[in-house]
Amino acid sequence: MLLQRTLTALLLAPLVIGLILLAPTWLFAPIVAIAFLAAMWEWSRLSGLKATAPRAALLALTAILLVLCWLMRGTLGWPLLIGLGVAWWIAAGQWLRHFAFGAAPTRENRMVKLGAGLLVIVPAWVAVVAIHGSGEYGHWWTLLALFLVWAADIGAYFSGSTFGGRKLAPTISPGKTWAGVYGAFAAAALVALAGGLLLGVAGGQLAGLLVLSALTVVASIVGDLLESLMKRHAAVKDSGSLFPGHGGLLDRLDSVFAALPVFAAGKLLLGL
């Protein structure tokens, strides 16, 4: 499984990096929107929405919201939406503490989960497009945000498998440990330090970037755990089967969805 996951990642990573670095923001935005909409399709299934027609309607609604967000770019609405995304992930942390909330397959719980899906997808898309279009080095800042999540994931895997120890959230995701969390912090800090120096960040801003990397890791863990909770509620192993060894798009983007609004908000506050 590790070999399969590694080979899939090696094939996908150059495509993603090339898109980030080479595509102008006006082209980057709709391509990313397609990927995010595909993840929303998977989210609707985890939420308990089975029929194709209502799932397609939800997808159309999400697409309309993304178009409206694009038309609002450059206004106060974008930082507000990024802030909404940060607030949502703080609230999601509370949901994880009360993991039985929403578990019953009722219509009310399904609507709550579908609404949560909009709060996952829309602010994350606004955040990544805002970062990508933020000046001369926006493409590189986007890559750094993604590298932080990747580094945290790799650091958590190797640290957790090496040291094991106390479980982070055994009821939701039994494989995650506190050792993995510490490994994620360390790996992301190294990436943030290297990336910050390469982007000319120094002094207090560099220290702030290191703090931001830690907050981004926390958000990525919450995003990962929330999707694990959704899968437990839906009694499925993966959100989909698009990528061998990786599951669906949502399985690959859960951490990214949570990390992006936090990183974008921190970048704005630090003046980077």
Asked if residue 147 lies in contact with residue 131, where contact means CB atoms within 8 angstroms, the answer is no
d(CA 267, CA 71): 22
3-class DSSP state of 236: coil
Residue 170 has pLDDT above 60, yes or no: yes
User: When comparing pLDDT for 136 and 124, which is higher?
Assistant: 124
- Exposure string over 20-55, b if 16+ CB within 10 A, otherwise e: beebebeebbeebbeebbbbbbbbbbbbbbeeeeeb
| Distance (Å) of CA 238 to CA 8, 15, 179, 229, 234 | 16, 23, 24, 11, 10
How sure is the predictor about 252, in pLDDT bands with cuts at 50, 70 and 90? Answer: confident
Encode pLDDT of 194-235 as tens digits. 999 999 999 999 999 999 999 999 999 999 999 989 988 888
How sure is the predictor about 243, in pLDDT bands with cuts at 50, 70 and 90? Answer: low
3-class DSSP state of 169: strand
Q: What is the pLDDT of residue 241?
A: 60
Encode pLDDT of 40-54 as tens digits. 999 999 998 889 999
Please report, to the nearest 10 degrees, the dihedral formed by the alpha carbons of residues 230, 236, 237, 243 taken in order. -90
Q: What is the pLDDT averaged over residues 76-81?
A: 96
How sure is the predictor about 171, in pLDDT bands with cuts at 50, 70 and 90? Answer: confident
User: When comparing pLDDT for 8 and 96, which is higher?
Assistant: 96
Q: For residue 237, what is the DSSP state?
A: S
Q: What is the pLDDT of residue 99?
A: 84
pTM: 0.93
Q: Which stretch of 41-45, 75-79, 97-101, 258-262 has the lowest confidence by average pLDDT?
A: 97-101
Three-point CA angle 45, 89, 172, nearest 5°:
60
Q: What is the pLDDT of residue 161?
A: 84
Q: What is the pLDDT averaged over residues 243-267?
A: 85
d(CA 1, CA 84): 37
Asked if residue 174 lies in contact with residue 230, where contact means CB atoms within 8 angstroms, the answer is no
Q: What is the pLDDT averaged over residues 35-64?
A: 93
Q: In terms of Cα–Cα distance, which of 250, 253, 251, 272 is closest to 263?
A: 272
Q: How far apart are the first and last CA of the chain?
A: 39
Residue 11 has pLDDT above 90, yes or no: no
Q: What is the pLDDT averaged over residues 20-32?
A: 96
Residue 84 has pLDDT above 80, yes or no: yes
- What is the residue extent of each domain of the chain? 2-270
Q: For residue 45, what is the DSSP state?
A: H
Give me the residue label for tokens 């993991």. Answer: 99
DSSP assignment of 115-160, as one string?
HHHHHHHHHHHHHHHHHHTSSTTHHHHHHHHHHHHHHHHHHHHHHH
Q: Which residues contact 173 (CB under 8 A, 6 or more apart)?
A: 224, 225, 228
